[in-house]
């Protein structure tokens, strides 16, 4: 099973958008998928509650609240045969909590929004992820994506420089479009919208899909449209 952790201590960077879109992508591709929500706001849980039974099934796990009568191990259990587990992590996580989540993961995706403050905060968080979280020593792959990017957004030169020093790939950028809102309102992902209406989003997701399938290789931005068969790579 491949476990993908969507993580950043900074709130408002679009972790849930990434987590829910990845879950729906894999599920739509015929891969048995679970989505685990650690966020107190329960945004992934809300998204899943809006999802139609006609769409590909995703097993939802509420990891934030302890349920009476259940052990923590039973509550967080993933169904047998699950191939992808997507974890939507809470903001502000650090210390032992950060270490526990990192140990669960094969891959960590860190979203960052295009503001100088967020870029600085993300750089500091990645240092903590490497030092406190011990991600690299545990063999966990880390990649960064730019999220909620608008026209005339500032350049990411300082972040690129920092990531190059740490040998962490900057994978792709996601434009802030209305399609993400339209999909979320129905508990859907970008890949469940008509292809001719989500051309830009699909093109921007392709480098992340390819990297997740083979995180040992550098991400490549390829200007074609992703096929769902691409999601079958990985562990």
Give the whole-number percent of the chain exceeding pLDDT 90: 49
Least confident window among 43-57, 130-144, 217-231: 217-231
Give the Cβ contact number of residue 213 at 10 Å. Answer: 15
State the DSSP H helix or E strand holding residue 111, giving kind and residue range, or none if neither. Answer: strand 107-112
Task: Give the pLDDT score at 225.
Answer: 33
Q: Are 84 and 34 in contact (CB under 8 A)?
A: yes
For the residues 78-83, what does the mean pLDDT come to? 93
Q: Are 207 and 171 in contact (CB under 8 A)?
A: yes
Buried b (16+ CB within 10 A) or exposed e, 133-161: bebeeeebbbbbbbbbbeeeeeebeebee
- Of the two residues 168 and 24, the one the predictor is more confident about is 24
- pLDDT category at 36 given cuts 50, 70, 90 is very high
Long-range contacts of 221-229 (CB under 8 A, 24+ apart): 221/172, 225/195, 225/199, 226/191, 226/202, 228/25, 228/28, 228/29, 228/30, 228/191, 229/29
Highest mean pLDDT among 64-73, 95-104, 219-228 belongs to 95-104
- pLDDT category at 149 given cuts 50, 70, 90 is confident
Residue 41 in tokens: 């706001």
pTM: 0.86
Task: Give the pLDDT score at 93.
Answer: 81
> What digits encode the pLDDT tens for the residues 187-229?
999 999 999 999 999 999 999 999 999 887 665 543 333 344 4
Task: Give the pLDDT score at 51.
Answer: 96
The conformation of residue 71, written as its DSSP 8-state character, comes to -
Distance CA 63, CA 114 (A): 29
HSE at residue 131, side-chain half, CA atoms within 13 A, is: 7
Residue-range domains of the chain with CATH = 2-232 (3.40.50.300)
Give the whole-number percent of the chain exceeding pLDDT 70: 86
> Which residues does 219 contact at the CB level (< 8 Å), separation at least 6?
143, 169, 171, 172, 207, 208, 210, 211
Task: Give the pLDDT score at 200.
Answer: 93
Tell me the pLDDT of the chain averaged across its residues.
Answer: 84
> Which residues does 92 contact at the CB level (< 8 Å), separation at least 6?
9, 11
Per-residue CA distances from 167 to 6, 179, 186 (Å):
19, 33, 38
């Amino acid at each position: 099973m491949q476990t993908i952790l969507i993580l950043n201590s900074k709130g408002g960077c679009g972790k849930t958008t990434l987590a829910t879109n990845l879950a729906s992508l894999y599920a739509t591709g015929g891969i048995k998928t679970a989505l685990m929500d650690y966020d107190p706001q329960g945004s992934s849980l809300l998204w899943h509650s809006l999802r139609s039974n006609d769409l590909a099934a995703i097993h939802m796990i509420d990891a934030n609240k302890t349920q009476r009568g259940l052990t923590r191990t039973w509550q967080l259990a993933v169904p047998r045969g699950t191939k992808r587990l997507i974890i939507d992590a809470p903001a502000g996580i650090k210390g032992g909590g950060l270490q526990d989540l990192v140990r669960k993961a094969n891959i960590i995706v860190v979203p960052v929004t295009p503001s100088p403050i967020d870029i600085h905060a993300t750089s500091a968080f990645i240092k903590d992820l490497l030092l406190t979280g011990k991600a690299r020593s545990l063999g966990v792959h880390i990649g960064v994506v730019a999220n909620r990017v608008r026209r005339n957004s500032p350049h990411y030169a300082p972040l690129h420089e920092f990531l190059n020093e740490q040998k962490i790939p900057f994978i792709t950028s996601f434009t802030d479009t209305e399609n993400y809102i339209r999909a979320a309102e129905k508990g859907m992902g970008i890949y469940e919208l008509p292809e001719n209406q989500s051309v830009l989003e699909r093109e921007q997701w392709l480098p992340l899909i390819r990297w997740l399938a083979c995180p040992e290789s550098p991400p490549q931005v390829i200007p074609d449209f992703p096929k769902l068969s691409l999601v079958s790579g990985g562990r």
